[in-house]
Amino acid sequence: MNPGKTDEESAQADVAMLLRYGIGAPGPRRSALFGDGAVGAAVTLDRLGVRPRSVAFLGRTVRSGGTGYTARLPELLPEPAASDLMRGWLDAAASVARPVEGDEVVARWLEAVAELIGLRRTTRERAAR
């Protein structure tokens, strides 16, 4: 993760690719998924108005039912554009996520994205005061 990246640069991350290569590969690829991938996803979803709890809920759903099951849900997020985006990410993840181990990585990644969205919102609220 590059701390000097702007939001615009972070939003350009190829999250689907990072998911495909980072889920099954501990090490630098996993670090990139949880770094640049999570930040890019958080910036993008935050811009679409997605609440952190919606993404955290998807993490719990992946942990319970698996990545493939979650990707097939009719309404992943309250916002249609965000749902379409998330479906693409989950489809990419489902193509490589092995049951249990891979699903756990996806669930943890979604939880990380939710936390980052929450931090972005908190920071904006504090700056507005």
Sorted by where each begins, the domain ranges of the chain are 11-128
Q: Compute the distance between CA of residue 77 and CA of residue 97 in angstroms, rounded to an integer.
A: 21
Q: Compute the distance between CA of residue 2 and CA of residue 50 in angstroms, rounded to an integer.
A: 24
Per-residue pLDDT of the chain (129 residues; tens, 9 = 90+): 556 789 999 999 999 999 999 998 889 999 999 999 999 999 999 999 999 999 999 999 999 999 999 999 999 999 999 999 999 999 999 999 999 999 999 999 999 999 999 999 999 988 988
Max distance between CA atoms of the chain, in angstroms, equals 46
Q: Compute the distance between CA of residue 7 and CA of residue 81 in angstroms, rounded to an integer.
A: 19
Q: How many Cα atoms sit within 13 Å of 112 on the Cβ side?
A: 18
pTM of structure: 0.94
